[in-house]
Chains A and B, each alone.
Chain A
Amino acid sequence: MNKLTGFSIEHPKLTIFLILLLTLIFATQFPKVKTDTDPKNMLPASSEVRVYNDQVEKTFNLHKDMIVVGIVKEQGIFDPSTLEKIERITDKILKLQGVVLEDVTSFTTADNVVAEGNNLTVQPLLTKIPETEKEMESFKKSLYDNPIWLGRLISKDGKTTAIYVPLEPGANGKKIAEKIKKIISQEKGEEKYYIAGDPVARDTFGAEMFKQMALFSPLAGLIMMVALFLMFANLPLVFSIMGVAMMSIVWSMGLLIGLGFPVHIMSSMIPVFLMAISTDSIHIFNEFYFRFNEVKDKKKAVIDTINTVGAPVRYTALATAVGFGVLAIGGIIPVRVFGLFVAFGTVVIRFMSFTFIPAVMMLVKEEKLLKVSSRDSLEKGASVWLGKLGRFATAKPKILLGIGFILLVLAIAGISRIKVNNNMVKWFKEKSEIRQADKIMNENLGGTSLGYLVAQTNTPEGMKEPENLKYLEGVQKDLEKVEVVGKTTGLTDLIKRMHRVINQDKPEFEKIPEDRKVIAQYLFMFGMATKPSTLDNLVDYPYQQANLMVQLKTWDAQAMQKVIDRVDDYQKSFPNGNLKFKPAGIAYFNLVWNNEVLFDMVKVFILALILVYLILSFNFRSFKWGLLSYFPLIFTIVLIYGVVGFIGKDFDMPISVLSTLSLGMAVDFAIHFIQRFKQRYETEKDLQKALIWTVERPGKGILRNALLFSLAFSVMIFASLTPYSTVGIFIASLMMISAFLTLIYLPAFIVLFRRFLITELKTEAQNGSINSP
């Protein structure tokens, strides 16, 4: 027992006061909180993909953020009243703060180059609401004839149109979306409106995240409190466990905010995690009650408890902290921050276990303790049942081994089916407005997820060469055969359009002209007649690089991989030394960090495995026992990921973090089990009896711990954001599974491999190196 614990036992009130004071200091940081939901910040600003994306956005004057307002009318939108609405809505959107008004694209603002006899007209698609049938027909024709707008401003069935609203940097997408909703709400009629786009999703997510955090952390806390009270029926003790949880949350979040880190999707889960980790203190109480019942002297019981449980608690805390801490070596910033601060919180919890908790125990009245602790020894229900479980495990280890083997094989089959995928839109529930809007747009228009393919030539003016443009056209045509690709837009489309219009609108001229000068002069005409963005978004200033915009029908990160692979294949089949393609855009960014998640997970997980193994081996002073304590943990992880693979759930960032999480937490059970078994085995030389005792008594602590854990996390199942519910479900099941695996397989293995394990134990025991906390 260290000096700190000694001090806490001698001066409990002072200890509690000092800890509360520290907590208050951390709490003062809270008002400075800021959130960050921009997926770009998953990777550092200096990462290659971000640097290149910024460069591409600058070169082609692209807007980082775009809101898409979808307008659907079942009877078709070619109706004067609908068009009037679109005009009114567009006009109002143009006046919103934070909107880049010159690049808002709708019927009334989009450039259209049309041929009228020998005349060439450049004007917005809709300058005047058509009054006659004939005018409406010609408006309709102008839309369908223009491949640039078909699939962007009009769906093939004529029922859907859209208004594209680019945002100024730093504008709040959710606020602008709300203003647009207000504008829309003033319109009556049968039109349905959908608001989609990355900034809306992101900023809605941010707002939602706060709600979830504010709702589910306290709710998890409340459930834990009730459960704790049912287990211990002693309010001061319940409050002290909750107090430890709360204080570790306040310390960690206070530090996080104080150091200037924004709260991100991952870090918003820190409170729930810390709450779960703090349940480890249950082992202290569990033991304290047993001890107090035996010695009836509070101070002695506290000291004995700390001496006995001290070592496992210390090592479990260390293992947990290391498990989370290694996340810091990964490349995904929010995961790094999350790992570090959960590790910090774990250390805080450990610190509390040896200061705050003993201090509280010292202050609890003895009579009260007597009443409650007698109840605990009487409360045999679970212990009896656990005893049976222990007897079964020690009697039939081979059967268990066989079942385990079958499960393992199945799980590995499941794992092989795992699909790594991050899809921001799927972070919202199926029925949510955002997902509905995204679905409608993707079904009817080109697609909401946007990737760029930058075609680079060797020399300035290279993009004016017919040969290069034809190649680009070939790539486009090939890409449009890919299922996930909704639409591509390139410089080629402008040139083909102009060529046709100049040649009396004859469809056969819808192709790239053979003469470079003709192309150059068309491009010049575009520069003269249309909005600057028309050309700038598709070709750079020196005409050396062209930007091919690829609209994808899904936010699945893998969609962009398909595009890249397709272009690679095309280039292999049709080699062209002049053109190189480089991917960019949000869809590509999602792909990059998606891959990073997988790579990171593997890297971090391996490191964590090694470190935790070392800690375990050190803890048990034995590599064999270290390996043994590893088993329930690995088995749990394999099982969980097997299930993920079988049910076809995307392996995304929150799920990937679960692996290290389980490493840090599930190992607790094994440490407690083995440590306590060894202590018992010193006095109880009958192996089977010692094991059954361990399953009964510390096993109850383990089960209580797992139950509390699961309860706390299970509330997250009801969260409106899927990452929260996923994490909730998986952690809850993970804890229960690993608790059971610990209680079943550890005794089974110890019986089965007693020759290897116990001989060592005996010599070790003779050396007296065991049980020295």
Chain B
Amino acid sequence: MLKKYFLTLGLFVIFSPSVLWGQEKFTAPEVAAKYQGYFFYPGKDFKVLVSMQLIEKGGQERIRELTMLRKNSPKGLEQKYFIYFHQPADVRGMSFMVYKYPKKDDDRWLFMPALNLVKRIAAKDKRSSFVGSDFTYEDVSGRDLEEDDFSILREEKISDFGSMGQAGDCYVLKSVPKDPKSADYSYRLSWIDKESFLPLKEEYYDLKGELYKIFSAEELKQIQGFWTVTKRRMQNVKTGHQTLVSFKDIQYNLGMEENLFTERYLKNPPSKWIK
């Protein structure tokens, strides 16, 4: 009972709008917690039409278009994702469901319409690529805060901040995995906007300490009061491969039912949410 109380309090702290806090100083773990909350957990649920461009070094592209539904667990940090693919044409109708647990491996299910078959995919690895993009599952759904050590290296202004035409005052947060084997990177630097607590830029350094991946937020919008990165880019500087993602038709707090995220709907996607 007490535990639940603390948890609710914790969530309240995380999600309270930053205006309340003014220009107060935060500790590194606090910044990390806020970043996680605003970037991966906004709203009770969330729906978006995602289009992804996977661009290889030579400039050739593959397109992914999908509808993604997300629902946060009312109790903890668990989340459920439902993904329905529209493009490419020959995989249209494929759907994908993920139960994310912060402390253990995800559960994933995939429906293949060509075989009318649902397969459970045992994922032992949150680091694998999300639908072939440069984003990993972790990049899409976040990483357990307890797995990393955080420190704030400095505060910095990202002045060249593209279409937003605003100068982002940022914390530069360094995340170092406690267990080096738990991540692909040896450390990550995140430029976290002091206003939205969203990452404007992230740099991933590999086991040799060399920069290999750069995330950049290219468009931020406030939707239903939630700051959302609506255009983002992940670039692998070593391979020259990159992924461009844009969000459309964003809606928060739609009141999704819990039973939406079941195997039944994998085969018959809910027309209410997916056109």
Contacts and interface: CB of A to CB of B under 8 A. Distances in A.
Interface string A340-351: 000000000000
B58 A119 contact: no
Nearest to A94: B207
Interface string A83-127: 000000000001111011110000000000000101111110001
Contacts, number: 105
Given A94-B207, A100-B238, A527 B131 contact: yes
Interface stretch (A11-19, A529-537, A733-741, A757-765): A529-537
Contacts of B262: none
Nearest to B90: A520
A119 B120 contact: yes
A524 B121 contact: no
B122 A530 contact: no
Contact of B94 (A101, A521, A529, A541): A521
A528 interface: yes
Contact of A127 (B60, B110, B121, B124): B124
Contacts of B90: 461, 464, 516-517, 520-521, 524
Given A122-B128, A541-B62, A521 B123 contact: no
A395 interface: no
Interface in B220-274: 238-239, 241
Contact of A532 (B94, B117, B125, B241): B241
Interface in A530-553: 530-532, 535-536, 540-542
For chain B, which range describes its interface: under 10, 10 to 19, 20 to 34, or 35 or more residues?
35 or more
B83 to A, nearest CB: 10
Interface string B45-61: 00000000000111011
B124 A95 contact: no
A233 B184 CA distance: 73
Nearest to B186: A95
A541 B61 contact: yes
Given A95-B207, A516-B90, A528-B129, A542 B123 contact: no
Nearest to A127: B124
B119 interface: yes
Interface string B114-151: 11010111111100111110000000000000000000
Given A119-B119, A527-B132, A521 B113 contact: yes
Interface residues of A, number: 41
B57 A118 contact: no
Main secondary structure of the interface of B (DSSP, over half): loop
B128 A530 contact: yes
B56 A123 contact: no
A528 B115 contact: no
A101 B236 CA distance: 13
Contacts of B239: 61, 102, 532
A529 B123 CA distance: 9
A90 to B, nearest CB: 12
B119 A122 contact: no
B206 interface: yes
A528 B112 CA distance: 13
A59 interface: yes
Interface in A112-158: 116, 118-123, 127
Nearest to B110: A525
A43 interface: no
13 contacts: A120-B110, A122-B123, A461-B90, A502-B119, A517-B90, A520-B90, A527-B132, A528-B110, A528-B129, A532-B132, A532-B239, A541-B60, A541-B62
Task: Give the top 8 A-B pairs by smallest Cβ distance, nearest first.
Answer: A527-B132, A520-B90, A517-B114, A541-B60, A121-B122, A518-B114, A123-B124, A524-B91
